[in-house]
């Protein structure tokens, strides 16, 4: 059975990268958890803070690359915690606009001081970081190319449906 | 406002790695989507296939590093789709054992042929892959160290609560 699951060098590198990212993400999650936040919550606070234009749940869902129902549940929890508020747009009544509350602003500022895990590459030399950045750039180009190829397929491109 | 969000070289490298991983993950997600699967579903199929011991929802949740309620919802969907079945353990009635159905076995075999995105590092040279693996190893060690430090904290270690 196991011989089906054997990985080649590329697949091992992929798994390696995945496990590394998930380990670092877990560290970030614990760090944010110490201030009562999760990674998606911190991402929402960041987006609301960094963007000038009004954000709807749909726009947030696109930027977070998450399903609309996942973002909707996330926002409901954050509203209950008093971190964000949602208001119907006066011009377009079916639009909901999400914004930070004072408590959300405070949470955003608090998490800015929790950045130890974001500095994990401090264990690398300047040269190693440069090489990592260059490798990541190549991998992103490859990733985007793969995504485009698959989105052009007959089952995923809305133009062909 | 924006000067609060400025990142140093390490934080930029972290973000770089995160965006790269998420791009590759999106490619993998689309690839699996073409066979009607998601990444967590493929991970469950893989674990059920690769492990000899009986798996409970709790064990799966630990191995997937996901909340029990998330895994429970995932398994419910997969059971509805006919990919897995759950049986109460005869010895320990409060134990539920998860196993693959024939349809799940077939889905597992099908997704083994969809590995283009897992070979994304084919755009790198052998030397670049070796360097990436070495860098990932250092970052994982650092990540695990950060996790241990935080889990030793007064709020997260059950021994101190």
Q: Which among A4, A117, A150 is the nearest to B112, CB-wise?
A: A4
**Confidence at residue B161, expressed as pLDDT on a 0 to 100 scale:** 28
**In which element (H, E) is residue A100 found?**
strand A96-100
Q: Which of A26-35, A121-130, B35-44, B59-68 has the highest mean pLDDT?
A: A121-130
Q: What is the DSSP string of B39-107?
A: HHHHHHHHHHHH--S-B-HHHHHHHTT--HHHHHHHHHHHHHTTSEEEEE-SSSTT-EEEEE-HHHHHH
The Cα–Cα gap between B45 and B114 comes to 14
The verdict on A67 touching B (C-beta cutoff 8 Å) is: no
Residue of A nearest to B30 (CA): A150
The verdict on B116 touching A (C-beta cutoff 8 Å) is: yes
Mean pLDDT score, A66-84:
91
Residue A112 predicted with pLDDT over 60: yes
User: Which pLDDT band holds residue B125 (cuts at 50, 70, 90)?
Assistant: very high
Min Cα separation B31/chain A (Å): 7
User: Which pLDDT band holds residue A161 (cuts at 50, 70, 90)?
Assistant: very low
Q: Which among B46, B49, B136 is the nearest to A17, CB-wise?
A: B136
The Cα–Cα gap between A101 and A98 comes to 10
Q: Which residues pair with B97 in a beta bridge?
A: B87
Residue of B nearest to A144 (CA): B23
Size of interface A-B (CB pairs under 8 A): 199
Min Cα separation B9/chain A (Å): 9
Q: What is the DSSP string of A4-44?
A: GG---HHHHHHHHHHHHHHHHHHHHHHHHHTTT--HHHHHH
Q: B136, A65: Cβ pair inside 8 Å?
A: no
The verdict on A106 touching B (C-beta cutoff 8 Å) is: no
**Confidence at residue A4, expressed as pLDDT on a 0 to 100 scale:** 53
Q: pLDDT tens digit string along B102-114?
A: 999 999 999 888 8
Residue A65 predicted with pLDDT over 80: no
Q: pLDDT tens digit string along A129-148?
A: 999 999 999 999 999 999 99
Q: Which residues of B touch A13 (CB under 8 A)?
A: 121, 124, 129, 132-133
Q: Find out whether A135 and B132 touch, Cβ atoms under 8 Å.
A: yes
Q: Cα Rg for chain B, rounded, in angstroms?
A: 20
Q: Which residues of A touch B26 (CB under 8 A)?
A: 65, 143, 147
CB atoms closer than 10 angstroms to residue A23: 21
Q: Is the whole-model pTM more than 0.90?
A: no
For chain A, the average pLDDT equals: 87
Min Cα separation A150/chain B (Å): 7
Q: Find out whether B34 and A155 touch, Cβ atoms under 8 Å.
A: yes
Q: Which of A37-41, A139-143, A148-152, B56-60 has the highest mean pLDDT?
A: A139-143
Q: Could you give the angle at which helices A9-33 and A39-50 cross, rounded to 10 degrees?
A: 80
Residue of A nearest to B151 (CA): A30
Q: A34, B139: Cβ pair inside 8 Å?
A: no
| ipTM for the complex shown | 0.78
Residue B65 predicted with pLDDT over 80: no
**Confidence at residue A151, expressed as pLDDT on a 0 to 100 scale:** 84
Instruction: Give the closest residue to A37 by CA, choosing from A120, A116, A118, A106.
Output: A106
**Confidence at residue B4, expressed as pLDDT on a 0 to 100 scale:** 53
Q: Which of B65, B100, B122, B123 should be substituted to probe chain A, the one whose Cβ sees the most A Cβ atoms within 10 Å?
A: B123
């Amino acid at each position: 059975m196991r011989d089906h699951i054997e990985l080649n060098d590329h697949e091992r590198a992929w798994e390696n990268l995945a496990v590394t990212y998930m380990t670092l993400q877990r560290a970030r999650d614990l760090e944010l958890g110490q201030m009562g936040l999760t990674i998606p919550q911190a991402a929402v606070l960041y987006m609301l803070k960094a963007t000038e234009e009004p954000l709807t749940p749909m726009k947030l869902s696109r930027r977070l690359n998450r399903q609309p129902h996942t973002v909707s549940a996330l926002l409901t929890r954050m509203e209950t915690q008093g971190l964000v508020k949602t208001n119907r747009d006066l011009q377009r009544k079916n639009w909901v606009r999400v914004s930070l509350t004072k408590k959300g602003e405070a949470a955003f500022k608090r998490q800015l001081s929790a950045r130890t895990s974001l500095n994990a590459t401090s264990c690398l030399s300047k040269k190693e970081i440069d090489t990592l950045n260059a490798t990541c750039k190549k991998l992103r180009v490859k990733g985007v190319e793969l995504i485009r190829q698959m989105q052009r397929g007959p089952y995923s491109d809305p133009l062909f449906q």
